[in-house]
Structure 1
């Protein structure tokens, strides 16, 4: 329903915009253009159509964060509900936009193709690079849609404008993978064309028309398909990896190769680059994840998640309230344990300094993962993680409540978040209200190289060692998150944007990355089972910014796994009761696609259902997920 509403709004906007053009003063010649026979209307500019396709290339729409990503992040234990997991956590309510994102880019690719097809051959040849770039974005979003739904329309999608059908056929996941690999190889051939090409320049929002970077992007998509093939055709998957990895020119080597883009500041209705205006509430960060990252001094944690509210000023505000006789005012034990303080003759406490690693590390606290654990003895009283209203200070007529926990850092995906720094109840109000045009990242150096590390461990003939790919991938991930923090000006991103006198910025340098990499958990040792788990853990961490990719990684790898010394999987329900795909509801009898959808469901062995039957969504898997390990079981290759 939400998707339909959005489409109708877009249609309405288009109609109203046309009306405005008609009533704001058209010349006679302009009226003539409007009334020209459609077959003779001048075609759009493929370069500008491509820019619009990039604008519509949106793996991060607000529905992802509000619905789909919120589900998957909890299923894979990346986040916890603030009151701990309950018996309904494995059930899905309304779904978001995943499964219907392809159409937004494919319609522009089809427009580009139709425009080029009408050109003389010599002119059309000048757009071969652009054609490949446009197709690559379409394949990426097609893969994005099929991950959780299986069969999807593709070849016949968005073709009605050009004489095609309004009821496109569904294609199986297996056939889609074959077709996409063929198309991507064709794209690579086009990108290597030496024919003089039309200049794209800054109309390419990510790479400025640099075909060398697009070659890497296309090969990155091939690797994404390859890792999804491992349980169905391992030999084919390894062959793809070997084709990609045979030449370093095919592989992203630094964060300058990452697909990072900013859409500009104009427009609305999806063209606005500030991201979602809706809150991104994935839950509270997992304590298992934060403890692992703190233990290994992983600086990505500082950017991925928020600092809690307990800075030195707030801690002192609690001490002051206690000195005034407020017996209900308490500091969480796990925070107080990190504070050096003195007590004067009157019994009043004074904050002196932080213990251990100090700022900013002490400001990160995750929530324990578990089923209905909020009432367990170890999580009550001053060690309570769940009753956040307990952490409240009153000073005269002013009262403030402070959160001791860390959450997903919303300003990584929202450019219009007003951030209020924690201060004492009567402290000054300090805010960051700057709207910052959003920079987003999809395919990256980290992702490609971690995939190659995985393939090397699985036996692929590649020119570098698994350890070399792994090191490059993890370091690139850390640099990428730091870059996003600076570009998006997240809270505390530099010293000038801190507030408390002891605040330290959350951004970091190469020395911090080197400190992280020196830890044994971040080094491969030659033991394939152990090394594979480390690769999957790093993919899991890298994809905190891309929750569906994180879900796919956990689903295909079984990592995090039960009993791990890295990030352990917590068994809360039988792993056969956790959804592995999203549900598909029975089409309405009047739906013209009903027969096609029913046929596709039958061919996949799927049952029409809602989100209340997680065991069904576990046993009825999408094609490439068949044979993959259950959640928490670890790799089974």
Structure 2
């Protein structure tokens, strides 16, 4: 899959150029006639691609930052002492949205707006749908940046503001929720003329407006949960309103996921090779016979055959017995990795063709199907049905809405297992066997999984965390929102100990102060100054241990 006909238009052109402005670039970003000949559906295709094709985000933000912080992966030789403070090149999502993705989505709507009335009437749904992806990605950016430009951003090409205002998270959450409600209303209304479908240019739902309504409702609920610590009454009201709508996700076919062929992320920065499985999660999954363990992690190579070879070579005593458990996770804390557990990260060379390695690795093809010459399919989840069901279970457990929390919890767990089983099959995970009904039934009755009303919120958090295997930001947000999982939950994530001190994890992006030469200097500085009034924002804009507004203590 390639990017074709993408036009990048910056709402922050002058700021982006930062003194290296080229006349031709400025012209390309302010002359709307350049868009002539590009169909709105083609530009929406480009938007879907751009939302997921950032290899720097995979390399820096996921593999080397959020996943180690959230104990979803461990560096090959164990986490180093500076792994919490190394944030170089982090926050790639900002660079995706500004100036690129947000502008592409705006183009879709402006192209339609410039059509004759009879053509616009055929594209009412096509014009509304981009707002759902635009709200999601703005929410995703703001999630770790706080105040961002939104309402008057992305319109520079069309005579709009070159220095758009930054809006605070309290404002943005209201704007986004209102916009989603508006779009849902549009998509649920049957237009007077037959609509031109996005079709295959929609990488998520093939232009199916009814599925986009379900996605928008699920997104409203997800955003409402972010408000939980700031305005629980509002969070409850939004969730109650959402769930009163009949348009809800019903199964995995409603999941908001982008699928792509093997060439989409083949090699380079996408490669997850070398990242280890985390001990807390592996132990929990092994002890409870979670079938996703084989979808998430690779077995180590201590097979009976390889152990026999090692014993024959004298690497191990002849009396050594084989341990059938081949899923073994790495300790998280640098003090553990570099101290008493150092031998866990040490491989044993048996001969020139066999080196034994105790600790499991991530299941590479789930992240890059091209790994080891694979030819399978990629998947990029935004909100899955499992995510939706577990959110609904949490809403009930928190007494926000009525219902059966156990029923929705079980639906969420089962949906997650089936989703990942299908994904593993499609990604051609080596030696993967599809999940069976018996495995799911056994897991739902496992000691730490069987629903217990007294531990409902903990169990829901653990299963949500597991379900976010391919969504590190959501696992991070879950922890910031609930504090789980932790060392006291059934899935016992470790305290991160460095030089015998328990350390905090980062909670937001480092935000670079604007240069005085930035044309949008005053607006940017005002936004930072306003966020800094909250003592929880931290010790200046670069303090990744500070918090954005929604992440209140």
Give the shorter-chain TM-score range. 0.7 to 0.9
Q: 2:465 aligns with which of 517, 535, 540?
A: 540
Matched, 1:301 2:293: yes
- Pairwise CA distance, 1:276: 5.2
Q: CA RMSD in A?
A: 2.9
In structure 2, the CA distance between the partners of 1:81 and 1:274, relative to structure 1 (3 Å rule), is: closer
Deviations 1:183-212 (A, max 9, x none): 101110111121121133222222122222
Matched, 1:475 2:401: no
Deviations 1:153-203 (A, max 9, x none): 222222111112333221111111111101101110111121121133222
Taking the TM superposition and a 5 Å limit, the aligned residue runs for 1:91-106 are 91-96=85-90, 97-103=92-98, 104-106=100-102
SS in 2 for 1:253: coil
Q: 1:160, 1:480 → 2: CA distance?
A: 41
Q: 1:95, 1:227 → 2: CA distance?
A: 29
Paired residues, what number?
516
- Pairwise CA distance, 1:216: 1.0
Q: Is the 8 A contact 2:284 2:490 kept in 1?
A: no
Q: 1:216, 1:244 → 2: CA distance?
A: 10
Matched, 1:624 2:553: no
Which residue number in structure 2 is paired with residue 385 of structure 1? 344
- Structure 1, unmatched stretches of 5+, are 1-6, 12-36, 266-271, 323-328, 340-353, 355-361, 419-432, 494-504, 628-637
Q: 1:49, 1:171 → 2: CA distance?
A: 27
In structure 2, the CA distance between the partners of 1:93 and 1:205, relative to structure 1 (3 Å rule), is: closer
Q: 2:190, 2:254 → 1: CA distance?
A: 22
- Pairwise CA distance, 1:91: 0.6
Which residue number in structure 2 is paired with residue 570 of structure 1? 495
- Structure 2, unmatched stretches of 5+, are 1-6, 14-30
Deviations 1:208-264 (A, max 9, x none): 2222211111111111101101011111111111122224x4322211111233345
In structure 2, the CA distance between the partners of 1:177 and 1:40, relative to structure 1 (3 Å rule), is: closer
Q: 2:51 aligns with which of 28, 43, 57?
A: 57
Taking the TM superposition and a 5 Å limit, the aligned residue runs for 1:246-325 are 246-247=244-245, 249-263=246-260, 273-274=264-265, 277-278=268-269, 279-280=271-272, 283-322=275-314
Q: Which has the larger Rg? A: 1
SS in 1 for 2:361: coil
- Pairwise CA distance, 1:448: 0.9
Q: 2:519 aligns with which of 563, 567, 592?
A: 592
Which residue number in structure 2 is paired with residue 231 of structure 1? 229
Taking the TM superposition and a 5 Å limit, the aligned residue runs for 1:43-442 are 43-58=37-52, 61-69=54-62, 70-96=64-90, 97-103=92-98, 104-195=100-191, 196-247=194-245, 249-263=246-260, 273-274=264-265, 277-278=268-269, 279-280=271-272, 283-322=275-314, 329-330=315-316, 338-339=322-323, 354=324, 362-374=325-337, 376-377=339-340, 379=341, 384-388=343-347, 391-394=348-351, 398-418=352-372, 433-442=373-382
Q: 2:196, 2:167 → 1: CA distance?
A: 34
TM-score of the superposed pair, with normalisation by structure 1: 0.75
Deviates more, 1:118-127 or 1:566-575: 566-575
Q: Is the 8 A contact 1:332 1:404 kept in 2?
A: no
Which residue number in structure 2 is paired with residue 31 of structure 1? none
- Pairwise CA distance, 1:437: 4.4
Q: 1:204, 1:176 → 2: CA distance?
A: 26
Which residue number in structure 1 is paired with residue 23 of structure 2? none
TM-score of the superposed pair, with normalisation by structure 2: 0.86
- Pairwise CA distance, 1:474: 0.9
Q: Is the 8 A contact 1:77 1:286 kept in 2?
A: yes
Which residue number in structure 2 is paired with residue 521 of structure 1? 448
In structure 2, the CA distance between the partners of 1:62 and 1:609, relative to structure 1 (3 Å rule), is: farther
Which residue number in structure 2 is paired with residue 422 of structure 1? none
Q: Is the 8 A contact 1:586 1:609 kept in 2?
A: no
SS in 1 for 2:335: coil
In structure 2, the CA distance between the partners of 1:221 and 1:80, relative to structure 1 (3 Å rule), is: same
Q: 1:316, 1:281 → 2: CA distance?
A: 27
Matched, 1:556 2:512: no
